[in-house]
Amino acid sequence: MTDQEFKSWLEDQVPKSPSAEFDQKLKSQAQGLLSPQSSTFKFKRILLVVAIILVVLTFLPLVINLYLGRDKPNEWNQLKAFRGGRFEVHDAAKYEFTSPYSRLQLTEGEVRAIPSDYPLEVAFSGGFLNIEKGRCSVNIQRVKDKSMNQGPTSASPIVSFVTVSILTGMTWLDFDSELHLGEPLSLSPKDVVSFNLTENGRLQNFLINGAELAELSLDESLHFLGRIVSAENGKPIPKARVHWAKDLSPKNDGKVIYLSDGKGRRGRYFRSPFEKGIRDTGLWFPFDAQLGIEATTVGTAGYFKLRKPKKGESLIIEADGYKAYLSQVIQKVDKIESGKTYKLSRYHTIEGQVALINGKPIHPAAEVRFYVTHKIPATEKTARWSVDVNEEGRFNIATDDVKEVQLLTSVTGCEDQRLNIQLNKDQKATPLKLILAPRPATFGSIVTTDGKPLQGVDITIREFDGSSSREKRKRGVKTNSKGLFISNVSSTSLELETFKEGFKVWKGKADPNQSLNITLQPAIKQIVEGLVVDSKGHPVKNLGVSATRKAGGDLAFGKVEIESQTQEDGRFKFELYPGRYLMTLHPKYSKEVTLYGAPYLTIVPWSKENRLSLPFSIGTVEVTSDKKLPVLRVNLPEMGSIQGFETSPAQGRPLKQSNIGLLSYGIRDWGTVIAYLKTDLQGKFVFENLAPGRYGLSKDQHIQLIEVESGSNEVFLDTKTAVVAGSVQRDGKPIGVSKVIFGRWEKGELTHTTYCRTNAQGEFEHTKVPLGRVSVLISDQRVTGTTMMTKLDLKENVRGLKIDWPKVQIKIKAQKSLPKNSRVKVKFLEFDGLVLKRLAQPHYLTAGTAQSDDQLNYVLKGVSPGRYLVYFDGEGIDERIEIAVEDQDVTLQLENSSD
């Protein structure tokens, strides 16, 4: 082909012109831009400029006042209020409020503002006003409503919303900042508005011309008005929430059901038009955010204002500590009465206090968690929420329309306790006294050398098995603001290790239930140096190095990470406080993927083709304050590369490019994407700089296991597949929407996995199952909590495969006392000669979990023949038993561990 022919061939490959519709659309868009009327972009630009100028003009004086005005605290006396408004100040004493626009003064908790010519403008001032002496600021603003457009010349401006916030020193007071006035309020220049600010920042006695707001008359023709008082004493209830709620049932006769967690937060349940049952719309969210329901708060005198109701709505009133009011569904809007008083009665509350069995109070650093569980009326569901417990151990549970609640307590240093409480609506429950039994715990205090408590010290607690040195468990805890800590333990042999930046590490043994008082000595940073060389001994530069400290057993807890980089000579350097650090290498620009003790080293430098890489763990170093560490030398292994082909030469080359992923293959980290790339037109792909070891190659849903050695490795993706279709059932009933996982095995190794799902009728069809010896797992964790298997020798398409859930059971009886409802887990070990430990994904490995009944019996149903590992998922028992299951039920006796 000549150049000219090639050029014209190239020209033919690209379409000549866009579609006629596209042309038309573009032209009309262009016309829109060109016509002067709709040159919105110009207009927008002008608007933007005007807005910027306005913002600058508004805030510049404030900023100037902030930075320059401090020296002139008395100037406020002469300042004018914003755009004509004026505040008058009485009894200048404690605080002085100044601003370029207005003056306010706080005297003994009272703010008095006297609007002058245009009070609306004063109220509308918006931005923060600065205050000398303690840097307070007051913000008075109006709610948006139509009357705003009346402008400053309006004869009776309206204020309907006031916000006051105060900043003292550099801290904002948590301020009860909102005062909603039930009805828009008319102010004239002669009106005096005043209110008190209490010490804790509450707004009280909002007075207009000396009269409380409650005396304002409300216009009933425009709104739905009402008043909310307490049923017990007739006093108005402040800050109640009022809503129109629409029932979502098709006939409007359904009932909206609410449950409270005692804090005014609610779970909402309602009947939806599309479902027969009651639907959970999500638990515990602020009430007023859902379903487009209108909400407002009431003023201090208990009045509220809502829009007029619509047909099919119900009125809902809520207030903290009171039972919610729910009206009938409104059928005829004209007949609904406005201006009524609603009496709310208090919740049924249970008061109580917790103490330890020996009369001691709960440890001040203990984590206290109380959960209340009860049935949701008219449903099969249960609700669960947490209850606050104060420092003295007192708590208060408020419930509504519930006959019985279950209380679960979980307190550090105490045994968990479950309690069923019967509620009688008519009687006031006697205060509960909860007695908690102590349990083994380690506790104590940490101070500096001059006796000050140290907050936030990371403490790692290692538990050992009896007298042996085998580490059983690792926990982490932090000291509280008083330098105190407490942590549950399950062993008598403990070792504690502290870490706090700037202090030496304290390490020592501890006895459970004996207070440990530690004094930490100050420390300085130590220099840690290292060198990274490749397999030929040449230094490796520009490699990222990080030192990570993880406290306790929790990865997210107290994590500190310091970064460095290797220089031209391959050296890196850190300055670290004493402690244990995990050193990792990672190529620059790489995404970090944590390898939990993966047995293979993997380095994939960043490049255009393979974008991700794994860090390589050098190991843990212990930095001490008295000994300098030797230079850490890291020898990288000789790297390997994969020259891969999407198909074998016999199959011909593929028609288009496809995505190939490189996955990690470690016992605890399997299937993490290390890198991915597109094959070229010949189906070829290359991964370079891989550390020798095992990897997975993925294409679509296929995963193929490969072994990479130093140097070049050639790999063909084996994509010969067959169709497998069939159905899954248990006791003749289909098992719908469960995962069907196919795993291909070769020489006892899992080389491919792929999956599909069953439909509602329990049928499945997977069109690309790799040929060979294939195991089939049915994973239906949501419904049955069990995974079962069958096997195939796949040579051609298989249809009509019927998989019956096995009926064999594993029955377990635990002998000693264990917490009720403890869980036992069963994992696959072997199935039909296939060692399933290799199936490293925990999800595939778990054959099932079971919860005990009151007599500590556990039953796992539907277990297929094979070998399993049985163990407890939690504390109390430390037994792992391997069992073989054939075609009969298996019964097991388990005993508690030594403690």
Partner 1 sequence: MTDGELIQAIRQGQSHAFDLLYQRHREAVFRYACALSGRIMDGEDLLQEAFLGMIRNIKSIRSTHSVLPYLLRSVRSRHIDQLRAFSNRAKAIGEQDFFSEDPHPESITMEGERLTILFNALAELSDVHRDAVLLKIYGGLSYSEIALLQEVPQATVRSRYRSGLGHLKKILGKGV
Residues that bind partner 1 (CB under 8 A): 1, 3, 6-7, 9-11, 13-19, 22-23, 26-27, 29-31, 33-36, 41, 612, 656-657, 659, 661, 673, 676, 681, 698, 700
Task: Report the nearest approach of partner 1 to the CB of residue 762 (Å).
Answer: 25
Q: CA quadruple 151, 152, 153, 157: dihedral positive or negative? A: positive
By C-alpha distance, which of 475, 472, 524 is closest to 493? 472
Residue 241 phi/psi, 5-degree rounding, is: -115, 135
Nearer to partner 1, 1 or 155 (CB): 1
Distance between CA atoms of residues 450 and 446, nearest Å: 11
Q: How open is the CA angle 130-135-138, to the nearest 5 degrees?
A: 45
Nearer to partner 1, 288 or 669 (CB): 669
Of residues 621, 617, 618, 637, the one with CA closest to residue 629: 621
| Dist CA 38 CA 586 (whole Å) | 55
| Nearest CB to partner 1, comparing residues 7 and 668 | 7
Closer Cβ to partner 1, 31 or 449, answer by number? 31
* Closer residue to partner 1 (CB): 255 or 768: 768
- Shortest gap between Cβ of 13 and partner 1 (angstroms)? 5
Minimum CB separation of residue 18 from partner 1 in Å reads 5
Min CB(754)–partner 1 separation in Å: 13
Segment (H or E) for 450: none
What distances in angstroms separate CA 384 from CA 259, 372, 387, 421, one per listed residue? 10, 5, 10, 14
CB of 43 to partner 1, least distance (A): 13
The answer to whether 829 and 838 are in contact (CB under 8 A) is no
8 vs 624, beta carbon nearer partner 1:
8
Could you tell me which of 256, 257, 269 has the C-alpha nearest to residue 312?
256
Which CB, 16 or 332, lies closer to partner 1? 16
Task: Answer for the pair 473, 456: CB distance below 8 angstroms, yes or no.
Answer: no
Q: How far is the CB of 132 from partner 1 (least distance, A)?
A: 47
Residue whose pair of structure tokens reads 């499945």 in the numeric block? 764
CA dist 295 and 108 (Å) reads 34
Q: How far is the CB of 673 from partner 1 (least distance, A)?
A: 5
Element containing residue 557 per DSSP (H, E): none
For residue 525, which amino acid is it? K
* Ordered DSSP codes for 170-231: TEE-----EEEEEEEEE--TT--EEEEE-TTS-EEEEEETTEEGGGS---TTTSEEEEEEET
CB of 689 to partner 1, least distance (A): 18
Write the CB contacts of 514 (distance below 8 Å, at least 6 apart in sequence): none
Between 564 and 664, whose beta carbon lies closer to partner 1? 664
Which residue from 264, 276, 284 is spatially nearest to 379, judged by alpha carbons?
A: 276
Closest CB to partner 1 among 42 and 307?
A: 42
Beta carbon of residue 39, minimum distance to partner 1 (angstroms, whole number): 9
Beta bridge partners of 355: 435
Cα–Cα distances (Å) from 179 to 35, 127, 143, 164, in that order, read: 49, 17, 11, 8
Q: How far is the CB of 658 from partner 1 (least distance, A)?
A: 9
Q: Between residues 19 and 221, which has the closer beta carbon with respect to partner 1?
A: 19
Query: How much helix, strand and coil, in percent to the nearest 5, is found in the chain?
Result: 10, 45, 45
Which CB atom, from 702 or from 773, has the smaller least distance to partner 1?
A: 702
Cα distance between residue 665 and residue 850, in whole Å: 30
| Cα(595)–Cα(668) distance, integer angstroms | 8
Nearer to partner 1, 11 or 568 (CB): 11
User: Is 484 within 8 Å of 536 (Cβ atoms)?
Assistant: no
User: Minimum distance from CB of 659 to partner 1 (Å)?
Assistant: 5
Asked if 706 and 726 count as a contact pair (C-beta separation under 8 A), the reply is no
**Residue type at position 886:** E
Closer residue to partner 1 in complex, CB, 22/285? 22
Write down the least CB distance from residue 664 to partner 1, Å: 13
**What minimum distance in Å lies between the beta carbon of 694 and partner 1?**
20
Find the shortest distance in angstroms from Cβ 701 to partner 1. Answer: 9
Cβ proximity to partner 1, 26 vs 63, nearer residue: 26
Least separation in angstroms between residue 690's CB and partner 1 is 17
> How far is the C-alpha of 640 from the C-alpha of 587, rounded, in Å?
17
Closer CB to partner 1, 30 or 92, in the complex: 30
Element (H, E) at 801: strand 798-804
| Residue 282 C-beta: closest distance to partner 1, Å | 25
119-152: buried (b, 16+ CB within 10 Å) or exposed (e) per residue? bbbbbbbebbbbbbeeebbbbbebeeeebeeeee
Q: Is 634 helix (H, G, I), strand (E, B) or coil?
A: strand
Q: How far is the CB of 765 from partner 1 (least distance, A)?
A: 19
Q: How far is the CB of 31 from partner 1 (least distance, A)?
A: 5
Q: Which is nearer to partner 1, 18 or 250 (CB)?
A: 18
Cβ closer to partner 1: 399 or 753?
753
How far apart CA 682 and CA 657 sit, in angstroms, is 8
> Could you give the dihedral angle defined by the CA atoms of residues 847, 852, 855 and 857, in that order, rounded to the nearest 10 degrees?
-10
Nearer Cβ to partner 1, position 534 or 592? Answer: 592
Q: 770 with 720: CB under 8 angstroms?
A: yes
How many C-beta neighbours within 10 Å does residue 763 have? Answer: 14
**Residue pair 852/818 in contact by the 8 Å Cβ criterion:** yes
